[in-house]
Structure 1
Amino acid sequence: MNILEKIDELKNLVQGNKIPATGRSMINVENFTEQIDEIKSLIPSEVSESEGIIRQKEAIIKQAEDEAKRIRGYADEEAVKINDNATNKAESLIQNAKEEAYKMITNTEIVIASKNAAQEIEDKANKEAESIIEQGKNEANSIINDAEIKSEDRRKGADNYAREILFSLEEKIADTLGQVRGGIDILDVRKETSVAD
């Protein structure tokens, strides 16, 4: 039985023993005190529930961080692969351009024209290589940025979820404690009335 159910029992105990036309109730003080003690014993379980929610939040954050690390690791690996592929392709283009330039120089009688053409080919290859490397870097940065955004979104989602649960639990406990305090006040008034009588 939870605290709210015990509070309802306490309320029924008070309301069920009203003295007609007096606005007062005649209750068994010993029984009432036992009910209060049972409510007090249940409060630690509510606190334990809040601690469980905090642990759940920490587990969600830990999971989000692990997922972020995994995504970041994957992004880093992809970035390395893209850069390696771009570098290899660029080196291959430059090597082919040099070989083509050498063939043109050695196989033609117009040496100057061949050198100019070779230089143009090499320049073009260098530009293509730079473009490929730049594109690879941009793709790698995009993957890393997406991974960081997803990680932050999951972390924020976990924080918001835990905050909502804890706010709800806080309101519930505050309301319950207020009802318990009201019951204790009634008991105190009853004792004072009994002593006065």
Structure 2
Amino acid sequence: MSILEKIEELKNLVQGNKIPATGRSMINVENFIEQIDEITSLIPTEISASEGVIRQKEAIIKQAEDEAKRIRLYADEEAVKINENATNKAESLIQNAKEEAYKMITNTEIVIASKNAAQEIEDEANKEAESIIEKGKNEANHIINDAEKMSEDRRKGADNYAREVLFSLEEKIADTLGQVRGGIDILDVRKETSVAD
């Protein structure tokens, strides 16, 4: 049974034993104190629930961090693959350009023209190789940035969820403690009234 249900029992106990035309209630003090003790024993359970929320938040954060590490590792591996592919393509283009240039230079009838054409081919190959490498770097950076953003979003989501649950739990416990204090005050007043009588 929850704290709120126990407090509702106390309310019913007080309201169900009212003395007509007096505004007072006749209750069994021992029973009332027993109910208060039960409510007090339930408070650690509510506190334990809040600790569970905190542990859940930590687990979510740990999961997000692990996921971020996995994504970062994947991004790094992809970046290496992209750079390797870009480098291999660039080297292949340069090698083909050199071979093509060599073939053209060996033709004695068009030596000058072949040298110029070979230089143009090599320049174009170098330019394309640089473009491929730059594109590979950009893709790798994009993957890494996305991974870091995803990790940050998950961490923020975990914090917000835990904060909302703890705020709600804090309000319930504060309300419950207020009602318990009210019941204790009623007992104190009744005790003073009994002594005065």
Aligned-CA RMSD value: 0.9
Q: 1:122, 1:102 → 2: CA distance?
A: 11
Identify unmatched segments of 5+ residues in structure 2: none
Deviations 1:92-149 (A, max 9, x none): 0001101111111112323222111111110000000000000000111111111111
Q: 1:71, 1:15 → 2: CA distance?
A: 62
The aligned counterpart of 2:26 is 26
Q: In the alignment, is the contact (CA less than 8 A) between 1:75 and 1:144 conserved in 2?
A: yes
Deviations 1:58-85 (A, max 9, x none): 1011111111111111111101000000
Q: 2:128, 2:55 → 1: CA distance?
A: 54
Q: Percent identity?
A: 92
Identify unmatched segments of 5+ residues in structure 1: none
Where 1:110 maps in the other structure, the secondary structure is helix
Shift of residue 11, structure 1, vs aligned partner: 0.8
TM normalised by structure 1 equals 0.98
Q: 1:38, 1:195 → 2: CA distance?
A: 26
Q: In the alignment, is the contact (CA less than 8 A) between 1:78 and 1:140 conserved in 2?
A: yes
Deviations 1:8-39 (A, max 9, x none): 11111111111111211111111111111111
Q: In the alignment, is the contact (CA less than 8 A) between 1:108 and 1:114 conserved in 2?
A: no
Q: In the alignment, is the contact (CA less than 8 A) between 1:14 and 1:27 conserved in 2?
A: yes
Any residues of structure 2 matched to 1:108-127 within 5 Å, and which? 108-127=108-127
Q: In the alignment, is the contact (CA less than 8 A) between 1:19 and 1:26 conserved in 2?
A: yes
Q: In the alignment, is the contact (CA less than 8 A) between 1:3 and 1:42 conserved in 2?
A: yes
TM normalised by structure 2 equals 0.98
Q: In the alignment, is the contact (CA less than 8 A) between 1:72 and 1:144 conserved in 2?
A: yes
Q: How many residue pairs end up in the alignment? A: 197
Where 2:109 maps in the other structure, the secondary structure is coil
